[in-house]
Amino acid sequence: MENQEKTPQRPQEQQGFRPPKGFLILLLFFAGVLIVLHISSSGGALGGGDEKLDPAQFEQKLKEGQIKNIRIDGRDVLGEFAAEGNKSKTFKVTYPDGYFSTDQHLDQLKALYIAKAPTDPKDRKFEVVAPSPLTQFLITIGPWIILLVVAWFLLFRQIRASGPGSILAFGRSRAKMTKGGRDKVTFDDVAGCDEAKEEVKEVVEFLKDPTRFQKLGGRMPRGILLVGAPGTGKTLMAKAVAGEADVPFYAIGGSDFVEMFVGVGASRVRDLFRQAKENAPAIIFLDEIDAVGRRRGVAGFGRGDEEREQTLNAILVEMDGFDTDDSVIVVAATNRPDVLDPALLRPGRFDREIMLDLPDVKGREEILRVHSKKVRLAAEVDLSVVAKTTPGFSGADLEALINESALVAVMKKKESVEGEDLEEARDKVRWGRQKKSKVMDLDDKKITAYHEAGHAAVAALLPEAEPVHKVTIIPRGVMGGATMFLPERDRMHFQKKYLLAQLKVAFAGRLAEEEFCGDISAGAQNDFKQATEWARRMVCEWGMSDLGPINYSESEEAGFLGREPRPRSFSEATAVRIDAEVKKIITECYDDAKRVLHENREKVERIAKALLKYEVLDASDVKRLMDGAAIESLHDGRKGPPAPVAEAKVADVKVAEPRPATGLGGPALGAAPA
């Protein structure tokens, strides 16, 4: 965990608003006076009386002449009974509110008392206590005054106070400031992107000693934009820059500027840059900047879009406006640079754009070594082999691979992570977990076996196709079965021969079903989808057809960016020709794959029967079967051969819902080429 420091605050913000002690004492004294007046007005000062009477009992005793004297205070009547011997008892009667507010009830009670009271004038005492106007006013208005004073005190305190509990905290930056610490990230923790590290090292040198650059009149970039696919290490690179420079590092996501209140985003931007300038030199990291930095004036969906544009305007002004601080460097990350506003990308704002690509084989090995420091690897594990078998993996994928391998080893109760654990973790990260408990009907298993055997056989027979890594009919992830491919190298370009070979491999699964099962299934859905997409891109984007080197692709970014959709740049006649060329490529590949399968029926059938027996075949098994080896000989020379699957009767097998089997294992084929 990185050490986090609280954002520096002004002295008045650190302590908040504290009223003087005399004010609190005066407030408490005023409240105490109101309480005493309320008690006295309700008769508390006269005592509670020896006996409690209700109004009916009191009036009955009054008629009988048992009442000696009376005192009326508010709605309470207090008095004494006529003396019995030498001692006299007191009583108390409580009438409903407002009973004595009119003189009628008071006169009736007084007349009754005079008529039945003792004849001695000394024993007659009928007193009505009238509250003073000040007391009545304080009792009526006082509680409201106290309530308003307390509300004002709390409101003013919230306005002046700082922190997340403040009433105005939504207008302040939510960036977390970190600096230094024992667990800080350095360039040693970043691997697989040497060129990107060289570029950002210039920023580190400037932050350490700005005078070296200022002597020659040089100016460092005010902004650095890290661009790359998800998982390539953009955030990690920004943390490494802050760790190497050992300066305050403010990290915030683009979505943290978006709120329901108008003007909050711009306010947070200004507050963020203010904090950074107070602690300069500093780095501000804006993650996923495309959330607020999209092109302006294109969507126009109302106030929400206007608020986003205000936030973007504030960022533009703070980065290169009249009050710009060269000692604050902004680092941003995005995987959609095409949607950013051009004003962000001009010199003076984000001067430098650094691309973080997927790592090559050398970079993957370095990344694996960085993450493997946290786990205990067996002595025989060769990370260079693992790196060669993980083309297309990002840094995040490789980290997940190491972590999953440790979990696999723990579940198998091993003391260290072995090579087979890394292989299982790789397949799990790329294609999903095996579903060995998934019970398939024998007919479905046969269809899946021949489908995958068709993919494997055609891939092994075509030299331009990717080499087979593993074939399985055990469901894994969303696949009912899979033929997994691992490229021998990282491909920079997709040649036409390679693409045509991949199309033939895609169609081989459906053709094997038709050739050996006498029927076809829906398992080739994903194969057809990828093959059609590739064939259309060959015609429309890559100029690999008789239509020539013309781009016929339709832009899909207009709706995403909020731009006006552009009309199609070709006629209906051309669209018909495009469809004809796509169909021509697909038909030729389909027919050629059918020919290859028909000429190698024995090899396909041998692979299918081996799958039905073992369920999983690796690359060496497929090669030996293609060379004519017997199915029973696959265990020769293998470490831990898979046990043959027990033959089961159809009646003993639970019929499961068929799942589509695919021969193109997602990233193993490079997914859709770019």
Is 80 in a helix, a strand, or coil? strand
Decide: residue 166, CB within 10 A, 0-12 exposed, 13-18 middle, 19+ buried: middle
- Length of the chain, please? 674
Strands of the 125-129 sheet, one edge to the other: 51-53, 90-94, 76-81, 67-73, 125-129
Q: Give the number of other Cβ atoms within 10 Å of residue 131's Cβ.
A: 14
Position of tokens 């002046």?
A: 160
SS3 353: strand
Which 8-state DSSP code applies to residue 261?
A: S
Q: Which of 419, 345, 424 is nearest to 382 (CA)?
A: 419
- Cβ burial of 498 (10 Å; 0-12, 13-18, 19+) is middle
> For residue 340, what is the DSSP state?
B
As given in the structure block, the two tokens for residue 425 are: 């973790």
Structure tokens at 469: 């890594």
Query: What is the three-class DSSP state of 362?
Result: helix
Residue type, 350: F
From 365, 423, 452, 605, active-site residue: 452
Distance CA 238, CA 257 (A): 20
Query: Do 225 and 354 meet the contact criterion of CB atoms below 8 Å apart?
Result: yes
Q: Which of 614, 617, 671, 664 is nearest to 479 (CA)?
A: 664
Q: Is 452 a catalytic residue?
A: yes
**Helix axis angle, 395-411 relative to 419-431, nearest 10°?**
120
- Give the separation between CA 513 and CA 521, rounded to whole angstroms: 8
Cα-Cα-Cα-Cα torsion 578, 580, 585, 587, nearest 10 degrees, comes to 160
- DSSP alpha helices (H): ranges in 472-552? 496-512, 525-540
3-state SS assignment for residue 238: helix
Query: Given the structure tokens 């990290």, which residue do they identify?
Result: 251
Q: How far apart are CA 298 and CA 563, in angstroms?
A: 5
Dihedral (C-alpha) 576, 582, 584, 587: value to the nearest 10 degrees? -130
DSSP secondary structure of 273-315? HHHHHHT-SEEEEEETGGGT-BPSSS---SHHHHHHHHHHHHH
Q: How far is it between the farthest Cα atoms of the chain? A: 139
324 within 8 A of 591, measured Cβ to Cβ: no
What is the per-residue DSSP string for 444-482? HHHHHHHHHHHHHHHHHH-TTSPPEEEEE-S-BTTBSSE
Residue 607 contacts residue 471 (beta carbons within 8 Å): yes
The number of beta carbons lying within 10 Å of the beta carbon of residue 534 is 24
Q: Three-class SS of residue 579? A: helix
Q: What does the DSSP 8-state code read for residue 650?
A: G
* Burial class, 674, CB count within 10 angstroms (exposed 0-12 / middle 13-18 / buried 19+): exposed
Return the amino acid letter for 204.
Answer: V
Cis omega (within 30 of 0) on the bond before 347?
no
Supply the residues annotated as catalytic.
452
